[in-house]
Structure 1
């Protein structure tokens, strides 16, 4: 791995239920074609829609890549915009996954806080991406839905002390194509990285004085 480059990991989910093609994985594959610029090594993964798989995969991604940022992408049948999720929640996981399993405790991390916020200011990312004239509507949400999306996000936020993000996309062609969603992810993640850079510069300046 080239150390001058930053690692960014982006995940989508496998098909589940009515989503025989999962728009999140289509969007992530489109993003992979576009890339995040020459300074970023982009690693993409398709995540099984299984609680136990998430519990082993998410920590292994952090360990393997030491990424500057991990962005999980999921599909929402109710979404009509690309939606930035502000936080992940620990409790209330009752939905059965693709292997007909759900956590007995109905929570992600026993003893973990009820809710963890991302360090990224999603309102600000939303404003900037919207102002860039992307042609894809972006919105912000505080509820990632208490299924595998929320479970994955919380697990990632817990491990990374908030250096994770979650983006919900609508199903393909309702109204956006896979290419549109890929472009939207590219713009959103580049904005998130810019934001992390600005925050780090600020911290660095404070230490210098």
Structure 2
């Protein structure tokens, strides 16, 4: 079973493309015969992680791909690492604004994704979907959920998971704004590619996709 998650809108937005993409990708994968559930998470520290934990216990997925919006990024970002730090530049949807707080008290400094991000990058590039391996998921609710997911999966050795950031959706921006965005359909296709790649890849590719800064 596969679990896809996205977030509710935040920061004054009326839509969140991560949820649009997760929901559409789930439908696409279901049409291919896969057992997939999609879950919308609140953009709230703590509550989002708790809801994800409940979903892990209820569905017992073999694969979890969480998605979030990274407005301003031009590509699908395959996140490599989650850090044990909540540091909110803006309040979440419940008004919480933690600063330099751990996601999990006493947890390790970081967790690496267990998704084959290099293989997924190659698969996305082959389909002309702009993508990158990202070295930071930020310190907002996206990273919070990513870290909480990997912390939970340490006790579920048969389950792999990770996080994908998506850009703005085209419809969120006025014409000619110059801010990077992607069509909703392409973002959904990208998440589906990540899932398909993870299902058939046991060892990730050794492919240069690092960063100099």
Interval of TM-score (by shorter of Structure 1 and Structure 2) = 0.7 to 0.9
Distance 1:136 1:19 in 2: 25
Is 1:154 paired with 2:160?
no
Is 1:52 paired with 2:49?
no
- Once the two structures are superposed, the pairs formed by residues 11-160 of structure 1 within 5 Å of their partners are 11-35=5-29, 38=32, 40-95=34-89, 96-103=91-98, 106-131=101-126, 134-160=127-153
Is 1:178 paired with 2:184?
yes
Q: Using the TM superposition, give the Cα deviation of residue 39 of structure 1 relative to its aligned residue in structure 2, in angstroms.
A: 5.0
Aligned to 1:169: 166
Q: Which has the higher helix share?
A: 1
Give the stretch that moved more between structures: 22-31 or 37-46: 37-46
Q: Which runs of 5+ in 2 are unaligned?
A: 171-179, 204-213
| Stretches (4+) displaced over 2 A | 36-40, 92-96, 102-105
Contact 1:129 1:191 in 2 (8 A): no
**How many residue pairs end up in the alignment?**
189
Aligned to 2:195: 189
SS in structure 2 of the partner of residue 40 of structure 1: coil
Q: Using the TM superposition, give the Cα deviation of residue 182 of structure 1 relative to its aligned residue in structure 2, in angstroms.
A: 0.8
Aligned to 1:203: none
RMSD (Å), alpha carbons = 1.9
